[in-house]
Structure 1
Amino acid sequence: MNRLEFIGASLLLSGAVLFGFMHLAIANYVPNMGGWSDPPGKFNQVLRDTMITFPYYLGLILILTGLVLLFLKDIIKVMNFLIGK
C-alpha cells in the first residue's frame, strides 16, 4: 500500500465514522422534535437545530476524497484510455 492509498483509506474511514456519528445524533434528536416546517423537511430541520450541518457535509467530503485517493491510479488509467493516450 503506497502513501496515497494509506491516506485515502484513512480519510475514508474517518469520514465514515464521522458520517455515522452524525446520523446517530440525528436519530437521537428526532424523537425530541416538537414539529418541523414542511419545505426543508425533517432531516434538514434536525441538521439546523442541532448545528451539525458542517460536520455532516465534512464527513461526506472526507468519504469522497478518500475514495478518489484510493482509486487514483485506476481513475488515471481510465482517463488515459478515454483520451486515447
Structure 2
Amino acid sequence: MTENFIQCPRQSKSPGEVGEQYFDVLLSRSFFQQSSRFKTCFVMHNLLIDLEKYVSGEIYFRLEVDKGKCIPKTTRHFFIFNRRDE
C-alpha cells in the first residue's frame, strides 16, 4: 500500500481488503509459502527473492547476500535474513 501498487477501482473496498485479495492470489500460485516454523508467517522461495533483487537493482539490499558491501543510497528496501527464521 505504501508504494501505491494497490489500486482500488471500486470504492467499496479498502486498500487493505484489496491487498489481502492480492496476497491470497499470490499464495494460491505458490508465490508465497507458509513458514514451516511460524504458522502465521509466510516466506518467498530464494529463487523468487533472487529474481526480485535482479529486477529491482540497487533499490533492494539483502544483508546476508550483500554483506561486506556498502549500502547504496538508492536503497528503498532493506532485507535482513536470519536462518533461525526459516
TM tier, smaller: under 0.3
Tell which has more relative contact order, 1 or 2 (C-alpha 8 A, sep 6+): 1
Which has more radius of gyration? 1
Q: Which has the higher strand share?
A: 2
Q: Which has the higher helix share?
A: 1
